Structure 1
């Protein structure tokens, strides 16, 4: 397995951005998630995402904790929809997959909003719902250049 050059450069950029020692926890979570996605590898021409071992190495446990179980169904559905999303061109495939990804983020934020008692988590969940919903509408309105 080998990392794409682009993915490796993206990881470096994300790592440098994450070294600011603070900032918005939502932005940090987005950087962490982006780093995981960028860590995708190419095996025999197929792109595959991080394995459970990769998640553990990145500090993400895979244990069936109550917290993880709360998001399991929405996370599985998001990954299924992203895998099924397609397009004739890279642009169309990108839009289709990102709509599925953002819808998954909204579903997870709704779970956090419903189940969390932490006011900061609830604030972040509302911010995610607001931003991702706007971006979904923008992507659905996108039309390829003629």
Structure 2
């Protein structure tokens, strides 16, 4: 029962660790996470009740940790320029896709799902390597 509240609290803390300025989408995510966590704690809602009232299925709960980690990673990834921030955030986004593919590979019994998950993982890993190798273009002296 506490695991769900702990996950929500961890996500809220990770999102709240970001500075107050910056991307309005990140700010909205931080505010929503904090509001949801606060409401859950105030109401004393158990994770089982919260899951049932929010429609979280076994499938949803199976991916909850990888989703939370991805969102926290994206919220904290940054860069000095738009380009650098884009690369940092997309690396985290792709890592999330790899983590979700790993869950599907470990838990799915469907051969087609496992094939797609492996293809996603392979593609995302290649793209992560490509983004990690990216270097900003030198600034022109003009």
Return the TM-score normalized by structure 1: 0.60
Cα deviation for residue 83 of structure 1 reads 0.2
Residue equivalent to 1:46? 24
Cα deviation for residue 125 of structure 1 reads 0.2
Aligned ranges 1:26-105 → 2 under 5 Å? 46-47=24-25, 48=28, 63-105=55-97
Residue equivalent to 1:38? none
User: Number of residue pairs matched?
Assistant: 93
CA distance in 2, matches of 1:71, 1:102: 15
Q: Which has the higher contact order (CA 8 A, sep 6+)?
A: 2
Q: Which has the higher strand share?
A: 1
Question: Alignment partner of 1:143: what SS?
Answer: coil
Q: For the aligned residues, what is the CA RMSD?
A: 2.0
Q: Mark the runs of 5 or more structure 2 residues left unpaired by the alignment.
A: 1-22, 33-53
CA distance in 2, matches of 1:103, 1:125: 13
Question: Alignment partner of 1:87: what SS?
Answer: coil
Structure 1 position 122 matched with structure 2 position 106: no
Report which of the two structures shows the higher radius of gyration computed on alpha carbons: 2
Q: Which has the higher helix share?
A: 2
Residue equivalent to 1:134? 126
